Amino acid sequence: MTRPTERHIPHSQEDSAKLKRLKRLKRLKRLKRENTELKRANEIRKAAASFFVSMPTMSTAR
């Protein structure tokens, strides 16, 4: 027996909806992981840029 708020969806459509939802969740998880990696790489780049800016310049003596 289904609850009044639930719609009855034939099995194949229900499975298809679950599959779409699962694919969206997997994609979202992948994008979040990628975003975290990109943020980490950006922080490393910022730190490296700051380090090189703070280094004294080397003059070329001839």
Average pLDDT by stretches of 10, the chain with 62 residues: 61 86 97 98 96 80 52
Query: What pLDDT does 8 receive?
Result: 63
- Give a yes or no: residue 34 inside a domain: yes
What is the number of domains present in the chain? Answer: 1
Q: Would you state the structure tokens that stand for residue 34, as one six-digit string?
A: 């990628």
Query: What pLDDT does 7 receive?
Result: 67
Query: What pLDDT does 29 receive?
Result: 98
Domain of residue 36, residue span: 12-49
- Give a yes or no: residue 36 inside a domain: yes
In angstroms, the CA 15 to CA 21 distance is 10
- Region of residue 40 (phi > 0: left; psi between -120 and 50: alpha; otherwise: beta): alpha
Type of residue at 33: R
- Give a yes or no: residue 58 inside a domain: no
User: Do the beta carbons of residue 2 and residue 8 sit within 8 Å?
Assistant: yes
Q: Would you state the structure tokens that stand for residue 60, as one six-digit string?
A: 């070329």
- Give a yes or no: residue 7 inside a domain: no
Query: What pLDDT does 60 receive?
Result: 56
User: Do the beta carbons of residue 9 and residue 17 sit within 8 Å?
Assistant: yes
Supply the pTM of this predicted model.
0.60
- Give a yes or no: residue 6 inside a domain: no
Query: What pLDDT does 20 receive?
Result: 94
- Give a yes or no: residue 42 inside a domain: yes
